[in-house]
Amino acid sequence: MNTKVDTKYDPLNVAKWVAVTVLVTIGVVGNQYYAEESFLYRLLALLVLGGVASFAAFATTQGAAFLKLIKEARIEIRKVVWPTRPETMQTTLIVLAVVLVTALILWGLDTLLGWLASLIIG
């Protein structure tokens, strides 16, 4: 996997991240400052600030790359062949049986080694 990392400095991109940071800070500080106000008003204000901050974050280079990643992940998820209900039940029963057998083996070994230790120690 040979990908080239773009390290070009973009002042507009930095300004957008600063705006996102300022908006989030305003939301956190404002929510505590106006703690006596109605929860509904504070929630609406936080939703608006969060929406504006998200819009600004997705407008950055990294935000655009993240959106591209999400779209590609959705395409890949559509390609997955999900198991049917009977396959899921069979697999679950097999896992439960293996866990039960392993637990019984470990219980038996623990009992045997404990018995041997008590014989040696006295």
Could you give the CA distance from residue 48 to residue 63 in angstroms, rounded to a whole number? 19
The tens digit of pLDDT for each residue in 10-38 reads 888 889 999 999 999 999 999 999 999 99
The tens digit of pLDDT for each residue in 81-96 reads 999 999 999 999 999 9
- Which residue intervals of 1-122 are DSSP H helices? 11-33, 39-58, 61-79, 85-121
* 2 pLDDT above the threshold of 60: no
% of the chain beyond a pLDDT of 90: 86
In the prediction, which pLDDT does 122 show?
A: 78
